[in-house]
Each structure stands twice: as C-alpha cells, then as structure tokens.
Amino acid sequence: MLLYIARTGSPWRALPHDFTVTWSAAHKHFTRWTKIGLWQRLLRVLREEARTGAGRTAKPTAAIVDSSSVKGMPVAGPRGFDGAKKIDGIKRHILVDTTGLLLGVHATPANVQDRAGFADLLTVSDCATVRKVWADKGYTGTAPAKAARTARTARIKLDIVSGPKPTDGFIVQPRRWVVERTNGWINHHRRLVRPYETTLAAHEGFLILSQIGLLLRRLDKGQLFDTP
C-alpha cells in the first residue's frame, strides 16, 4: 500500500477500499516506521543484495552527492526560497553509490545551500566504507571539505567535478550523470514531485520507499524489464 501511494501520489483518504487496512492504519504505520528508521534498514539490506548480485562488494567505497529543489505545496511545514533556481519549497540532498543506488537523503528548506547540508547528509547516510565523493561546484568551500575530513565513519576525499561551460551542445560531466539519473527515478513517483507531507521526515520516508520499490523490482527475477 505504501509503495502504491509513493508511485501514484494518492492522498491517504483516497486509498482504494480493496486494501485490507484502512487509510488511518496505513498512515499510522508509515509514521511509526519512519520514526524508528525502518526504511533505512530495509534499503541497506536490498541495496547490498543488489550490489552483490551485480558482482560488486556489498558496501560501496565511492559515492556522488547532489541536491534538487522541489516546488512547495500550500501545506504547513518547513520551506524556503531557492534564489538560484527561483523555487519556493524544499531541497532534497541525496548521496548515491556509483551505480545510482541511494545511500542517504536529507531534506531541508530550499534556502539551505548545498555546502551547508552536506555534513548532515553524511551523518544520516550509510557511508561507513565510502572513501571518495564526487560533487559539483555547489560543494566548494571550507564547510564541505571539513565535513568530508571529519566524517564520523571515515576520512572522505571530496572531488569537485567541474569543467568549462559548453559552447556547442551538452557535455556529460564524469560521474555527475549517475546522481542525475537517480533524481529522474525519484521524480517518476508522483508523491515526490511536490512536498505533500507536513514534515521533512515524512518526505524523506517516501523518497526512500521509492528506491526500495526500485530495488524490489530489480531483485524480482520474474520481471522482464528493469523499469524505475
């Protein structure tokens, strides 16, 4: 049911009556499981299984970081204005491995700069074995560098991926396309195209759920196509 809400964007009270539990019970369980960190633990188990199934080590040693601002809804909750992108709403900071699988998410008001949210993102992410992180120019400065050096799990080398502005067409930057693809996977879920939740923690929960659904489809050998 929760994966259904994340994918379709259905309001809680509009859930089909065919489900075996009421909308209020589903909301209660979602809130409780979000608070106790169930989604992060489930994501870790599925991600490690997917990585080992692809011939990789269970835990990543490198990652890519990025953020995306999401236009807000007229609901109560934290929000801010992103002056660079002219968006009033929230910002999602995500960390992914080199295949695009989610390691962690940290939601903030949109006026929080990338470099300011980087330390908190590392704190909530499953990056105990990560030694290198690729980032764009938004993560330059002393604050991100200090957060990488003093990470609670390991000393991380922060590599800023940048280059000259393209004069003719689009130039793919190394490693950057991986996290942009993950943002695309996230935006395929209607519950996440806008911040419908009244708390940032609930929005983070649905974002993690969207990637849990992706991993479940990948691990289902009976599915012919790996659709996000």
Q: Which residues contact 184 (CB under 8 A, 6 or more apart)?
A: 228
What does the pLDDT look like over 37-47, one tens digit per residue? Answer: 999 999 999 99
| Run of H or E including 142 | helix 142-149
**219 and 46 in contact (C-beta within 8 Å)?**
yes
What does the pLDDT look like over 64-76, one tens digit per residue? Answer: 999 999 998 887 7
Amino acid at 143: A
The domain over range 2-219 is classified in CATH as 3.30.420.10: yes
pLDDT of residue 15: 87
What does each C-alpha distance from 106 to 11, 49, 91, 172, 199 come to in angstroms?
A: 23, 24, 8, 26, 12
What does the pLDDT look like over 10-52, one tens digit per residue? Answer: 999 998 888 888 999 999 999 999 999 999 999 999 999 999 9
The span from the CA of 159 to the CA of 30, in Å, is 37
pLDDT of residue 225: 46
Q: Kindly give the interhelix angle for 200-219 and 23-35, rounded to the nearest 10 degrees.
A: 90
pTM for the structure as a whole: 0.90
pLDDT of residue 18: 81
Confidence of residue 171 (pLDDT cuts 50, 70, 90): low
What does each C-alpha distance from 209 to 2, 44, 186 come to in angstroms?
A: 8, 12, 10
Q: What are the extents of the domains in the chain?
A: 2-219
**154 and 128 in contact (C-beta within 8 Å)?**
yes
